[in-house]
Amino acid sequence: MKASSHLEFLLKLKEFSDLRENPKYPQVITPCINRTYSILFAMIDQYLNLHPHMRLFHIGHDEVYYFLTNPACEEFQRLTGVSTQHELFAYHLSIIANYIREKNPNLSLFVWHDVLQNLNINILKKYQLMNVINPIVWSYREDISVEGFIVGSQANLFGQFKSLWGASAFKGATDEIATISDVKHYYENQVSWIQQLNSYIPTKWKNFDGVMLTGWSRYDHFLSLCELLPYSIPAMAFSLAAWKEPFKSLPRASLYSNSQLKEYIGKQLQCSSSIHLNIQEHANKLIPKCKFPGAAIYESMIFLVQLWIKVEEVESFVNKFVTDLHVKYNYIHLKRGEECLDKLTPIMNLLKKFIKSFQKSMDEVFSVQVAIEWLETYFMKRYRLINQKYEFIRRAVQEQRSWLPRPIPDTDKIHIIEKNKR
């Protein structure tokens, strides 16, 4: 549950806009207004009622970018004595944590590390957080040792909590608009965590209890969908296998040459051929036929990579003979237009076929809006441009039998659109 930041789904609404920590941005909820807690407590109650047997409860608190900027914070500071952003964070976290513990004292509460690491031991003790929350140190890099939390005072701080966890990733952690999973990246992320567990972590963090494997669908409520979960199941399988014997204890080797691991994953996912590890293999290898849940989406995404290659080959031919000038001034080389049409027609059929098959496979897993959002984000703009040129050529080939003399255009000025000056 998001209990501090990433509350855009709530704070973007006009009725809750007064609760924004920064009135301009709907990311962070303000601790300076009492109504904040009536709303968050109601959300917590919903979670507890929906999951009466849960033992672990993650309450977020990552990427909190704004502090003490709500107009109500001036009076709040006067009444509470909270004077710094770090103390405000601790104040808010303690209220949320204590409310949950009153409801269910047996729950283990997890909090992301990235803001928490800025608090000193005195603030943590003042708000009695050391034995109440369990930090999760997240790192999704191929080499997690480059993260600042691994050394120094931050490491000492994390070692004093009752329990400490780590977080790796299997999707949604390489780029905001990544649609293709870099299986190697996510596998190497697991390997790097394992290396730390076998070296640094035992010497520094006696309280380290485990690593959580995470997958992300958006970087932010307002941003686009990234790697789809069904497509990313192979990346998840490789990531989980990294933690499983015998693979966990094997000497480190390139994922590409690890035939034993690839064979194991292929069997687990019931695939007809080897799982692809990157976009280059999507482009050059046969599409594996698999039987894991959502496999049709996995196959559709690979098919699309190969389809775009075919589109680019056709476009490279068509663009030689049909430019924007031809379209704008409605004239065409008839013979070349016919040749372009011969190449574009089967491509248009494949693109239309992809839309139908992709929606069908997506609708088996998600609500219908998800496929539409994905298509509008990553597919439809290019499709419409191709279709626009296809329709122009089709009409021009059918209709044009005479043409204007050159120069085309017959004008001595270029039209430039500029913004109106106020």
**For 89-117, what is each residue's pLDDT tens digit?**
999 999 999 999 999 999 999 999 999 99
Q: Which pLDDT score, from 0 to 100, does residue 415 have? A: 83
Report which of 358, 339, 360 is spatially closest to residue 350, judged by C-alpha positions.
358
CB-based burial, 210-234: b 16+ in 10 Å, e otherwise: ebebbbbeebeeeebbbbbbbbbbb
Element housing 135 (H / E)? strand 133-138
Laid out side by side, the sheet with 133-138 consists of 56-58, 108-112, 133-138, 164-171, 208-215
Alpha carbon distance 347, 364 (integer Å): 26
Alpha carbon distance 199, 184 (integer Å): 22
Q: Which pLDDT score, from 0 to 100, does residue 416 have? A: 87
Task: Say which residue the tokens 């909590």 belong to.
Answer: 161
Q: Which residues lie below 8 Å from residue 202, measured CB to CB, with a gap of 6+?
A: 208
Q: Which pLDDT score, from 0 to 100, does residue 281 have? A: 95
**How much is the average pLDDT of 20-38?**
98
What pairing do the DSSP bridges indicate for beta strands 25-29 and 20-22?
antiparallel
Alpha carbon distance 296, 300 (integer Å): 6
Per the model's pLDDT, the better-predicted residue between 148 and 413 turns out to be 413
**How much is the average pLDDT of 26-39?**
98
- At 180, list the tokens: 């293709």
Could you tell me how far CA 28 lies from the centroid of its own chain?
A: 19
Q: Which pLDDT score, from 0 to 100, does residue 277 have? A: 94
Q: Which of 8, 21, 63, 281 is catalytic?
A: 63
Q: Which pLDDT score, from 0 to 100, does residue 208 have? A: 95
Indicate if the pLDDT at residue 338 is higher than 80: yes
Q: Which residues lie below 8 Å from residue 184, measured CB to CB, with a gap of 6+?
A: 255, 256, 277, 278
Alpha carbon distance 414, 230 (integer Å): 49
DSSP H helical ranges for 160-294? 183-197, 200-204, 229-242, 259-268, 279-284
Q: Which residues lie below 8 Å from residue 283, measured CB to CB, with a gap of 6+?
A: 305, 306, 309
Q: Which pLDDT score, from 0 to 100, does residue 204 have? A: 87
Q: Which of 22-36, 300-314, 328-342, 402-416 has the lowest mean pLDDT?
A: 402-416
What pairing do the DSSP bridges indicate for beta strands 25-29 and 108-112?
unpaired
Q: Which residues lie below 8 Å from residue 371, measured CB to CB, with a gap of 6+?
A: 358, 359, 362, 363
253 falls in which pLDDT band (50, 70, 90)? confident
Q: Does domain 8-229 have CATH number 3.40.50.720?
A: no
Residues 136-153: pLDDT tens digits?
999 999 999 876 555 677
Per the model's pLDDT, the better-predicted residue between 320 and 203 turns out to be 320
- At 262, list the tokens: 């690839």
Report which of 115, 65, 121 is spatially closest to residue 93, judged by C-alpha positions.
115
Could you count the other beta carbons within 10 Å of the beta carbon of residue 89? 22
**How much is the average pLDDT of 21-40?**
98
**How much is the average pLDDT of 185-198?**
94
Catalytic-residue membership of 63: yes
The residue extents of the domains of the chain are 8-229, 296-399
What is the CA angle 49-210-112, rounded to 5?
Answer: 60
422 falls in which pLDDT band (50, 70, 90)? low
- At 52, list the tokens: 């009466």
Indicate if the pLDDT at residue 252 is higher than 90: no
Residues 196-234: pLDDT tens digits?
998 888 988 999 999 999 999 999 999 999 999 999 999
Residue % of the chain over a pLDDT of 70: 98
